[in-house]
Amino acid sequence: MIAEGPLAEAFWRHGRCEACPVIDMHGHMGRWRGIWFPRPSTEAMIRTMDSCGVRLLVFCHHHALFAPDVGNDANIEAVRKYPDRLRAYMGINPNYPAAIAADLRRYDDHPGVFVGLKLLASYHGLPWDHPHFAPAWEFANARRLIVLGHTWGGSRIDGAEQVRQAARRYPDVRLLLGHCIHGAWDDAVAIAREFPNVHLELTAVPRYRGPIERFVAEGLTRKMLFGTDLPWFDPHHAIGAILSADIRDDDRHDILHRNAERLLGIADCGFRIADFGLRIKKRKEQENVTSAQEPTP
Amino acid sequence: MTNDLEFFDACACIGLPAAAPVGVPDPPGASAEELLAAMDRAGIAKALVWHAAQRDGDPLLGNDLLAEALAGRDRLVGVWAILPTPCGELGDLDEWLGRAMAGNVRAFKAFCEQGRYLLRGEVIGDVVERLLAARLPLILPVATEPAWRDAYDLLAEFPELTVILTDLPSWGADRYFRPLLGRYPNVHVEIGGYIVDGGLEALVADYGAARALFGSNYPVMPHGGMMLTLAHAEIDDADKQAIAAGNLQRLIAKVRA
């Protein structure tokens, strides 16, 4: 049965757990050049989420990251179709600064769609501190947005040093280290401990024995976020690996949903996701009122 | 049905790697005792086991260490590393194979990248001919593109050989392995590294469940990931059981001792 405990038993018996609605903080969508995906469509991904008990997926469509001709429209379309199951990161491709500026200008035109930004610097070939990224960082910092950045050990583009610089320079960005600076676990631990705004996103990490237990033992349980790269990786694989880890069920609840609920401002994922778009819209209206009351220069 | 699945792990390792990446896995290796304890915790009945020294140190030392560790442990079935024959390192091949079989070895593995040899008839043909005659599986790690090319070369020359492709890269490898499954009836995929969403279901639909073998890649990977994936795959219960254990049991039962 994989491991001991009520969560392992529930997932083993049913493939999901009502008391533990999973939030996946790192997804994609659509086809991509390097892999044949059996289930790349929005509908197929929702079906996978249903079977694995994934209540909400925060994703960035492959087109938004790899097809500048299409850009973020694919994100908007998918969330509009499944507003109770999906939220998007706005994809930022630093090779197209004009497109970034245009996308950021229309960020507010889509309430309830975006929770923040997604950086994939290693694939785009420019480091996090490149000037083309600066408008996106400043935009996110000013609004306290989530930024999910692909991070990889040893990379000069999005490795530990770039992460440290960004975390220090943009303290109000809620920075998710996608893949936890993969392989550079010591750096991931040190940075997550040093910077309150940094979180550890676990895509591709649970498949190895050790890092999950290490992060929990370092006191970082409340900074760990579940992710799968869906449609890349089967959520059951990552869930099963986390169930295998030598940690407590309370830690697993934090990793699988509670931390994401806190980050997204969702008190109870199972019942409140549908209200999320309304909450965003309401906040925007409040911000507009506040803005209108401010004195003009 | 899920709760009744019996597992026979097609890919487990004992021994200490020469240079595991820092922190992965942690601890870096497992003894036979530790492997059995982990199998007990996860609910895995048996495992096909190789030794880290076969890959990282001396294949022949690794074979000996494995034989020593597996003696008297019936739940663990051995995998021995092969070597090219022109250098004479394996000695008398029939005697070498006889020792392997006596030590409950039921599959062989080619670490050709680390051993710096090619998977071609003039290099390992003498060994492969004997594996064919005894219906013994040859396990081929295919984590890199050169390894896939080696696998393609070998199967073109020995199309009837029973092969288990293992160490699949985490990025979906369908474009590499599907042509082999389509052309060679005795090729199998150990699914421990094959975690692309919906991949297992598609593999079963297109090639049948008989071509897939459950593997954990323990101790690099935890047991639970692929166990949960297989337990809740959208395939028949009979297919799940075949992948979990039945297919490997069948391959081993076919071996002519």
Q: Do A38 and B226 touch (CB under 8 A)?
A: no
Q: What is the mean pLDDT of chain B?
A: 96
> What is the 3-class SS of A119-181, one letter each residue?
ECHHHHCCCCCCHHHHHHHHHHHHHCCEEEEEEECCCCCCCHHHHHHHHHHCCCCEEEEEEEE
Q: Do B26 and A214 touch (CB under 8 A)?
A: yes
Interface test with A, best of B22, B197, B201, B235 (most A CBs within 10 A): B197
Q: Identify residues of B whose CB sits under 8 angstroms from chain A CBs.
A: 2-3, 21-27, 41-43, 170-172, 174-175, 195-202, 218-229, 231-232, 234
Q: What is the pLDDT of residues B8-21, one digit of tens each?
A: 999 999 999 999 87
CATH superfamily, domain at B2-253: Metal-dependent hydrolases (3.20.20.140)
User: pTM for this one?
Assistant: 0.93
Interface test with A, best of B232, B235, B240 (most A CBs within 10 A): B232
> Are residues A220 and A193 in contact, defined by beta-carbon separation less than 8 angstroms?
yes
In percent, how much of chain A has pLDDT > 90?
A: 89
Which burial class, exposed, middle or buried, applies to B215 when counting CB atoms under 10 A from its CB (0-12, 13-18, 19+)? buried
Q: Do B227 and A186 touch (CB under 8 A)?
A: no
User: B172 to chain A nearest CA, in Å?
Assistant: 6
Which burial class, exposed, middle or buried, applies to A150 when counting CB atoms under 10 A from its CB (0-12, 13-18, 19+)? buried
Write the DSSP symbol of residue A84.
T
Q: Do A241 and B22 touch (CB under 8 A)?
A: no
| Range name among A293-297, B103-107, B116-120, B218-222 with the lowest pLDDT average | A293-297
pLDDT band at B1 (very low <50, low <70, confident <90, very high): low
pLDDT at residue B248 greater than cutoff 70: yes
Q: Note whether residue A220 is domain-resident.
A: yes
pLDDT score recorded for residue B2: 59
CA distance B136 to B150: 19
Per CB-CB distance under 8 Å, the chain A contacts of B221 are 207-209, 241
Q: Of A80, A155, A90, whose CA–CA distance to A117 is shortest?
A: A90
pLDDT at residue A284 greater than cutoff 60: no
Q: Note whether residue A288 is domain-resident.
A: no
User: B199 to chain A nearest CA, in Å?
Assistant: 6
Containing A182, the helix (H) or strand (E) segment is strand A174-182
A238 → chain B, closest CA residue: B225
- Closest partner residue to A208 (CB to CB) among B24, B229, B232 is B24
Interface test with B, best of A208, A232, A252 (most B CBs within 10 A): A208
Q: Do B172 and A3 touch (CB under 8 A)?
A: no
Residues facing A199 on adjacent strands: A176
Q: What is the CATH number of the domain that holds A24?
A: 3.20.20.140
CA distances from B14 to A2, A39, B31 (A): 20, 35, 5
- Token pair, residue A33, equals 């050049």
| Range name among A56-70, B17-31, B139-153 with the lowest pLDDT average | B17-31
Q: What is the pLDDT of residues A186-229, one digit of tens each?
A: 999 999 999 999 999 999 999 999 999 999 999 999 999 999 99
Instruction: Report residue A124 CA to chain centroid gap.
Output: 18
> Are residues A137 and A169 in contact, defined by beta-carbon separation less than 8 angstroms?
yes
Q: Note whether residue A284 is domain-resident.
A: no
Size of interface A-B (CB pairs under 8 A): 144
Q: Note whether residue A149 is domain-resident.
A: yes
Q: Note whether residue A204 is domain-resident.
A: yes
pLDDT score recorded for residue A290: 44
Q: Note whether residue A296 is domain-resident.
A: no
pLDDT score recorded for residue B23: 77
pLDDT score recorded for residue B4: 86
- Closest partner residue to B26 (CB to CB) among A4, A11, A209 is A209
B23 → chain A, closest CA residue: A210
Q: Of A86, A49, A55, A91, whose CA–CA distance to A73 is shortest?
A: A91
CA distance B214 to B241: 10
pLDDT band at B232 (very low <50, low <70, confident <90, very high): very high
> Are residues B161 and B155 in contact, defined by beta-carbon separation less than 8 angstroms?
yes
> Are residues B199 and B187 in contact, defined by beta-carbon separation less than 8 angstroms?
no
> Are residues A233 and B196 in contact, defined by beta-carbon separation less than 8 angstroms?
yes
pLDDT score recorded for residue B257: 74
CA distance A229 to A206: 13
pLDDT at residue A291 greater than cutoff 60: no
Q: Note whether residue A168 is domain-resident.
A: yes
pLDDT score recorded for residue A1: 82
Amino acid at A149: G
Q: Note whether residue A234 is domain-resident.
A: yes
B206 → chain A, closest CA residue: A38
Residue A110's domain comprises 6-279
Q: Do B228 and A243 touch (CB under 8 A)?
A: yes
Q: Of A73, A12, A22, A82, whose CA–CA distance to A46 is shortest?
A: A82
Per CB-CB distance under 8 Å, the chain A contacts of B227 are 2, 240
pLDDT score recorded for residue B27: 84
Does the predicted interface ipTM exceed a cut of 0.90? yes
pLDDT score recorded for residue A286: 56
Domain boundaries, chain B: 2-253
Looking up tokens 């004997």 gives B130
In chain A, the number of structural domains is 1
A236 → chain B, closest CA residue: B229
CA distance B161 to B144: 21
pLDDT score recorded for residue A274: 46
CA distance B200 to B232: 11
